[in-house]
């Protein structure tokens, strides 16, 4: 399926965008790029989750954000002589599109509509980053976790389910695995979710929506 930001382009620009973006699968447990790598490639998430993080002064991992379906990352490729400045790690096997800096420059120079499409994608990333900072500052773990569960749930055989690990949810919610495990247990006690092996079944999404506010 063609991503929305490409499908919305005029026919000639769409054809060119489909030519320059290439699909591939980024496997869990690998890295897409490292902080010192030159930003030569822009990425778009078709399906999955990719964590962007840096190392702190004591080599601790500091999650900057987690990008999901419909979002771009590696935006340094839109600028000359930039490095990525962060690690990019797939939390699950993720379907991505990639395009080189040179191809992007030709695409955006020929088609102003493509420039606007990237501006919109970058604006969404900025708004999400601002929202994440606001949530970390003003919200407790429970509403942040509820929001993460709602964003990660997908239709399954028995209803909506989340297949991310507790650690992955900790990255999404900006917390620790231990705290997330505790809060998940509290939600399970309230019958809002059901905990299973490598799966969380969402029993009452309306409860999550209420506490996520």
Amino acid 180: pLDDT: 96
Cα 192 → chain centroid: 24
Q: What Cα–Cα distance (Å) separates residue 72 from each residue in 40, 86, 153, 157, 208?
A: 14, 14, 20, 30, 27
**Phi, psi at residue 36, to the nearest 5°?**
-80, -5
Distance CA 94, CA 191 (A): 30
Q: For residue 80, what pLDDT band results from cuts at 50, 70 and 90? A: confident
Distance CA 80, CA 49 (A): 27
**Does the structure show a pLDDT above 90 at 2?**
no
Amino acid 79: pLDDT: 86
The sign of the torsion formed by the CA atoms of 34, 107, 125, 95 equals negative
Q: What Cα–Cα distance (Å) separates residue 17 from each residue in 5, 77, 80, 114?
A: 10, 16, 20, 8
**Does the structure show a pLDDT above 90 at 81?**
no
Over the stretch 25-63, which tens digit does the pLDDT of each residue have? Answer: 999 999 999 999 999 999 999 999 999 999 999 889 999
**Does the structure show a pLDDT above 80 at 1?**
no
Helix, strand or coil for residue 46? strand
**Does the structure show a pLDDT above 90 at 197?**
no
Average of pLDDT values for 183-204? 93
Q: What Cα–Cα distance (Å) separates residue 114 from each residue in 35, 58, 99, 138, 165?
A: 27, 41, 13, 36, 36
Greatest extent of the chain over all pairs of C-alpha atoms, in Å: 57
Q: What Cα–Cα distance (Å) separates residue 67 from each residue in 9, 58, 162, 185, 186?
A: 23, 25, 16, 26, 27
Amino acid 198: pLDDT: 82
Over the stretch 180-191, which tens digit does the pLDDT of each residue have? Answer: 999 999 999 999
**Phi, psi at residue 57, to the nearest 5°?**
-60, -20
State which fold the 138-210 domain adopts. Arc Repressor Mutant, subunit A (1.10.10)
**Does the structure show a pLDDT above 90 at 173?**
yes
Amino acid 157: pLDDT: 85
* Domain range list for the chain: 2-134, 138-210
Angle at 63 between CA 162 and CA 42, to 5 degrees: 85
Q: Is CATH 2.60.120.10 the classification given to domain 2-134?
A: yes
Which residues neighbour 52 within 8 Å (Cβ) at sequence distance 6 or greater? 63, 64, 65, 66, 67, 73, 86, 87, 88, 89
The neighbouring-strand residues paired with 44 are: 72, 97
The average confidence (pLDDT) of the chain is 94
Amino acid 71: pLDDT: 95
Comparison of pLDDT for 137 and 97, the residue scoring more: 97
Distance CA 183, CA 170 (A): 11
Amino acid 48: pLDDT: 95
Amino acid 210: pLDDT: 94
């Amino acid at each position: 399926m063609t991503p929305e930001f490409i499908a919305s382009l005029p026919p000639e620009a769409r054809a060119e965008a489909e030519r320059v973006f290439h699909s591939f699968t980024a496997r869990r447990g690998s890295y897409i790029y490292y902080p010192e790598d030159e930003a030569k490639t822009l990425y778009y998430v078709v399906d999955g989750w990719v964590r962007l993080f840096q190392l702190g002064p004591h080599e601790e991992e500091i999650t900057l954000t987690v990008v999901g379906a419909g979002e771009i990352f590696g935006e340094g490729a839109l600028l000359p002589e930039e490095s990525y400045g962060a690690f990019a790690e797939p939390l699950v096997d993720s379907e991505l599109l990639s395009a080189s800096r040179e191809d992007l420059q030709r695409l955006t120079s020929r088609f102003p509509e493509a420039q606007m499409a990237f501006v919109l994608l970058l604006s969404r990333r900025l708004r999400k980053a601002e929202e994440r900072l606001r949530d970390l500052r003003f919200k407790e773990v429970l509403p942040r976790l509820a929001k993460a569960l709602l964003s990660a749930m997908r239709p399954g055989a028995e209803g909506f389910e989340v297949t991310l690990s507790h650690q992955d949810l900790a990255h999404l919610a900006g917390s620790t695995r231990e705290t997330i495990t505790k809060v998940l247990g509290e939600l399970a006690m309230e019958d809002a979710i059901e905990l299973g092996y490598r799966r969380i079944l969402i029993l009452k999404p309306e409860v999550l929506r209420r506490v996520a506010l």
